[in-house]
Amino acid sequence: MGIVGGLIWISGLRLDILFATVYLAWNTKAPRAHHMRMDHYVLSFPYTTQTLPLVLGGSPVVQVATCTDASLGTAPKGRSVVANLTKLNEKAGAVSAHAKATHIVFTSSFESELDGVARGLKAQARVLNILEERRVSMASVPKLWSDNKAMVDFVHGEGIARGVRHMELRMWYVREKYKQSDVVLDWMTGRDIPAD
C-alpha cells in the first residue's frame, strides 16, 4: 500500500503513470506477486525516464495531440479501463490525463476503444477551450491517436462494424467530429502509444 500511495503522489506530476497507478490501486487489498513486480516497475519508470518533459517542453509550436487507450475487462467486475492523455505537441509532456473504469461491461475491445476515443475528444476539447480563452493559436488541427486499427477505420468510414447495435449513441459522436474535420484521428501501435 505504501508503494501505491507513493505512485499516487508521483502521478500528480507524472501523468504518464496514471493508468498503471489506477490499476494497482484496485489491487491493494489482496495483491499478488505480479502486482508487486508491476509496483516496482512503475516506481522505477519515472527514474529511468527523467529526460521526458513534465508539462510543456518539446517545441514552442502548439499542436494539440491526444492519445487514448482501453484495457478490456481489467477493472473490477469485468469493466474496462479507458485512459487518455493530452499534450500541447507530440514531443511535450502531458498537460491533461485521465484513467477511469467504464460504467458498463464492454464485450469487445473495439467498443471500449471507441468509448476511450469519445472521452479523449472531450478531454481534448477542454484543453482547446483553455487555449482559446488564453488566445493561443495552434499550428494545425488537433490530432487524436488510438491503437485499435479496426476502430480507426470505422471512424474514417472505411470499415464496417458488425454486431454493434447496442453501442451507446454518444459514441457516434466520434465519427461526426471526424467528418467535420475538427480532429485528425490516426492509428499508432500499442507499443508506441503513451496512453498505454
Contact 80, 46 (CB under 8 A): no
CA atoms of 25 and 56, how far apart (whole Å):
28
pLDDT at 122: 92
116 contacts 83 by C-beta, under 8 angstroms:
yes
Please give the model's pTM, rounded to 2 decimal places: 0.71
Q: CA torsion sign, 54 to 55 to 61 to 67?
A: positive
Taking the domain 65-187, which CATH number applies? 3.30.420.10
CB count within 10 Å of CB 8 equals 15
Rounded CA separation 175/82 (Å): 18
Per-residue pLDDT of the chain (196 residues; tens, 9 = 90+): 888 888 888 887 777 788 788 888 888 888 888 888 888 888 888 888 777 655 565 667 888 999 999 988 888 888 888 999 998 888 787 888 888 888 888 777 888 888 889 999 999 999 999 888 888 888 889 999 999 898 888 888 886 666 666 566 666 778 888 888 888 888 988 888 877 7
CATH 3.30.420.10: which residues of the chain? 65-187
